[in-house]
Amino acid sequence: MLRKGEDQKAVSYFDRVIAAADSWLAGDSRPRRCIDANVSSTPAAGHAPIDDALCDAHFGRGYALIDMGRGDLAEADLRAATRMAPENAHFANEYAELFKSRREWQAALVEFERAWEMADKTMGGPDADLAARALRGMGYAKEKLGKLDDAHALISRSLEFEPDSEAGKVQLAHVERMRTIGS
């Protein structure tokens, strides 16, 4: 539905998944942790185990709300997804993008750093694109914070993970121009 532009319809489906989980977990005050059956079936001690469909529902609803121009409502869902799935670099990158779109550079930097910490840093590995995106995001935030040398280093490093990234190449060229003119 999201790919077809049916954001409102998608939100209604995500609402039902979230409401069902909230009903099922009513009265359980433990923090929720999504369980990825491919990784583990046991959450960290003190956490309520939940199906990763709930994390996907929060993430999907947040993503759809952004597409609908409701970033103000999306933040709670994206934050919930990242907190319930604290090892999901994709969710963390998207949450960081929300702050980037708001020009909240420090908050964006913190969340992109979280995504970087979570991503598998194996060159050519399954998370290479997520690692590169986190590095580009950190570089962008550093650029906006006036730290051009740091930005250059981060974006250059992102190209080690995704050498053919047009976004990375354009971003690096921009930072190089900024450094040349002394901005």
Structural domains in the chain, sorted by start: 1-86 (no CATH), 89-183 (1.25.40.10)
Question: How far is residue 109's CA from residue 67's CA, in Å, rounded to a whole number?
Answer: 22
* Position 39 pLDDT exceeds 80: no
Which pLDDT band, with edges at 50, 70 and 90, does 2 fall under?
low
Dump pLDDT digits (tens) for 94-151.
999 999 999 999 999 999 999 999 999 999 899 999 999 999 999 999 999 999 999 9
Q: Is residue 156 a contact partner of residue 117, using CB atoms and an 8 Å limit?
A: no
Length of the chain measured in residues: 183
Which pLDDT band, with edges at 50, 70 and 90, does 16 fall under?
very high
Q: Where are the alpha helices (DSSP H) in the chain?
A: 7-24, 52-67, 71-84, 89-101, 105-118, 128-144, 148-161, 166-181
